[in-house]
Amino acid sequence: MPLYINGLSCISPQPTFGGDFPFEVKQYDSSRLPCIEPDYSPYIDPKASRRMGRLLKYGTTAGLQALKDAGINSPDAISTGTGFGLLDDSGKFLKNVTETDEGVVSPTAFIQSTHNTVSSNIALTVGCKGHNNTFVHKGFSFESALLDAQMLTAEDPAIKNILVGAYDETTDYSYTIMQRLRLIRDTPGSNLGLLKKPGSGSITGEGAAFFLLSKEKTQHTYAKFLGSEILFKPKSSDSVIAKLEAFLTKHKLNLSDIDVVISGLCGDTKRDEILRALNDKYFTTQTILGYKHLCGEYMTSSAFAMWMASMIVQTGQIPSQTLLQDKERAPKYILICNTYKSDNAFILLSK
């Protein structure tokens, strides 16, 4: 069932929160891209904010801003996705347990370390007592939340507005582990050149993006969310193409109907094999965009891509720093092709 994106918000390593689009791209010379955190005081009580971790603050703020953007006080349901959840608070709690030799520790870090803390905090703030789910499905987490939203609206006529989002963070601990596993580059250079110089490893990022999905269109609607598809461990680019063609057929579309493809290339030669094959052999007449050089690689980065796609559909403008192949097509239908390790997914939006 198609849903309308009537409100959105994004906090990322780029100036995406409350700014203009296209935004002025920020350059990093590091393999770790941190979020540009906004002023939280209009959204979170300063006394409560002191006891909250970074992800809880910017995840909650992104969700509340999406509701404000849509002019909705409280949604009928909330569905979110996260790869690792609140890593920083989890680390603090485990460190406290170790330092006290498994003695008595403050429960605050534990309470705020559960993966559904962000969606729960949003619900408590706006008084939403309806359906509230958080999916922790690695690279499929955000797509699972989108599927949940579509199923809910199809099954329950009373549900008209659903807040859907995703959030993840990079901590000192997780960054060190990724360095040891050689998942990120030792000398990345500028993040803006990541996709132009494929190599071993990528750059890590973080962020939160939320969308108010509704059954009805309004005068503020950004785009239409048509659907998503999940592919687990495809064997080759041919198997991905077969799934994609079936996905488009289900929506009564052909490949020629797709104007813009947002590709989830991360700069790692091995992990990008399938996506580069698709871009070189299959998406020959489409404008192709990249995005992970702007926000970094993380499990729910496709939420950043969906935010960018929604803004492109509404404004008709494409950030020049995202262009990988320009066919100068008006962005009526946008296809997001993302991959995270062995997890592959499609998200389809239209004007």
pLDDT value at residue 144: 96
Distance CA(235)–CA(244), nearest Å, equals 14
Provide the H-helix boundaries in 100-236: 108-111, 117-126, 141-155, 172-180
CB atoms within 10 A of CB 347: 23
Domains of the chain: 3-214 (3.40.47.10), 226-350 (3.40.47.10)
Q: Tell me the average pLDDT of the chain.
A: 92
User: pLDDT tens across 106-116, in order?
Assistant: 777 677 778 88
Q: What is the pLDDT of residue 187?
A: 81
With a cut of 80, say whether residue 92 has pLDDT above it.
no
Residue 51's pLDDT is what? Answer: 84
* 82: confidence class by pLDDT, cuts 50, 70, 90: very high
Residue range 234-239: mean pLDDT, rounded: 88
Query: pTM of the entire structure?
Result: 0.95
Rounded percentage of the chain residues whose pLDDT exceeds 70 = 99
Residue located via tokens 């079936």: 246
pLDDT per residue over 254-288, tens digit each? 999 999 999 999 999 999 999 999 999 999 999 99
CB neighbours of residue 106 within 10 Å: 11
How confident is the model at residue 98, as a pLDDT? 79
Helix (H/G/I), strand (E/B), else coil: 63: helix
Residue 186 has pLDDT above 80, yes or no: yes
- Mean pLDDT across 239-265: 95
Confidence of residue 242 (pLDDT cuts 50, 70, 90): very high
Specify the DSSP class assigned to residue 25: P
DSSP one-letter string for 253-297: --GGG--EEEE---SBTTTTHHHHHHHHHT-SSSEEEE-HHHH-B
Span 35-47, pLDDT tens digits: 999 999 999 999 9
| Per-residue pLDDT tens over the stretch 47-72 | 988 888 899 999 999 999 999 999 99
Q: pLDDT, tens digit, for every residue of 171-184?
A: 998 899 899 989 99
